[in-house]
Structure 1
């Protein structure tokens, strides 16, 4: 599984600039995933490529961030550390063939509706007023948007991105007042059922043991890891 490519394509920055095999990505500063360098392969001029990346983000008023996945060239992580880049957000890629079944109460649409966005942002809105940019990222590729609703209010949400025979699962979020009711599980199973089953993957922070336990119980196991280097 090419996790670098899958994650890059499923959560697409709306501004992308190639540089010597790398991709500089920008989406208004919303999420590191869409506002970081994807350093796949070793450029001909490594110091020059790092300098170009730093200039790209400086021009946009953003910190220079590198996404350090399996495709990152050997030695880059150590070079960035030497330059004072901090290691942040160690993340797991989990993959498997999970269970899927339509669940009563789970609504699935092909575009995020306002209440879906509000629920997701209420849980994952770490970027202040960036909801408009986040919605633009979501709309960058075809996807399904699922929510477990009560009285028209989404209590748990998720996003499924069909990528060939693989389903990418993103934006899993449950309102704090609705947790420990199995609603996240219902959303996950609904998305898998909508895709017709088959292999799937998701990403989860290394410190989120609760979410990892849920995903393991649904058939996911650790398939890879990545982290970020932030200047």
Structure 2
């Protein structure tokens, strides 16, 4: 809906403003509207001026045509859990705590029972594995889960992290003017690649890390080797056991028409040199060879540097997703 309301501030007095989102409740004289970003707005009836139903998503959107459910499923296949279990249309996923994406519920359907009962089952399932219970909820597109987010809030769950799924046509990404001559592509996840990956660079990676990163329909790893050419670059290298951390890395999972990019990282001292772009361009060219035509990636909303990089490559936001955590007493 698009809702017009009056607001009052000390400087300009009463004025009009608009709120666009999904109406999740209207009780006790208050409307609750969830914006595209997942933020909830509470609107007193007394401030209402007008309202109308609007499409859930723009008629035209830059980038490949896709539903939120299609993208969420593709992203889940590209970042698979170590163990999973179905609860109706919900998938419970766990990977020893390695990333929320692999340790959260993907609720793409009805759980087959009242939500309150499903949440108890979810909390118990994760408690058995010594993990906090998370549910990944999408917002901002047709068929996303604003109503579920409102129910989670009612049951005391809290939203911890928000991210965007961004999409782009793959061919323009593969055509970027990037120096790919130094990029090495491999099917194998080696120690050098892991030495640059921020979630494992501090020591020996847990088995779950390797399982998740190596999983997916068709996985490629990109490495830009470190070049010990000057003092600055020497200081920027790190060791992971006997392996020297590369200058940059990336990962791509090809799944039908989709190429999903993850784990794009660069040595902090070597940023703004086009290394991440080179890694992604090389991966995009490989994905095109395997028949993919569209690209997606996931980026947290507070990662301004990465968002700027991806915008420059032509990625636009398709929808947002959020990880909601169970109340503490539910996962002791």
> TM-score, structure 2 length as denominator?
0.65
> TM-score, structure 1 length as denominator?
0.91
Please tell me whether the aligned partners of residues 41 and 73 of structure 1 are also in contact (alpha carbons under 8 angstroms): no
Tell me the equivalent position of 1:99: 173
Tell me the equivalent position of 1:189: 281
Q: CA deviation at 1:74?
A: 4.9
**Change in 2 beyond 3 A, CA 1:41/1:126:** farther
Q: CA deviation at 1:140?
A: 1.8
- What is the correspondence of 1:1-231 to structure 2 with a 5 Å cutoff? 1=66, 2-45=70-113, 46-69=115-138, 73-97=145-169, 98-100=172-174, 103-120=180-197, 123-125=198-200, 131-141=206-216, 142-151=218-227, 153-196=245-288, 198-231=293-326
SS at match of 1:159: strand
**Change in 2 beyond 3 A, CA 1:67/1:144:** same
- Structure 1 runs of 4+ aligned residues shifted over 6 Å read 126-129
Corresponding pairs, count: 229
Structure 1: gaps (5+ residues): none
Point out the more displaced range, 51-60 or 136-145. 136-145
Structure 2 Cα separation of the partners of residues 185 and 223 of structure 1: 21
Q: Which structure: larger Rg?
A: 2
**Change in 2 beyond 3 A, CA 1:41/1:128:** farther
Structure 2 Cα separation of the partners of residues 127 and 73 of structure 1: 36
Structure 1 Cα separation of the partners of residues 130 and 274 of structure 2: 41
Q: CA deviation at 1:42?
A: 2.7
Structure 1 Cα separation of the partners of residues 322 and 302 of structure 2: 12
**Change in 2 beyond 3 A, CA 1:92/1:115:** same
Point out the more displaced range, 192-201 or 4-13. 192-201
SS at match of 2:210: helix
Q: Deviations over 1:93-144 (max 9, x none)?
A: 1111242157111010012111101111xx2449987543111111222300
Please tell me whether the aligned partners of residues 22 and 39 of structure 1 are also in contact (alpha carbons under 8 angstroms): yes
Q: RMSD of the TM alignment (CA)?
A: 2.1
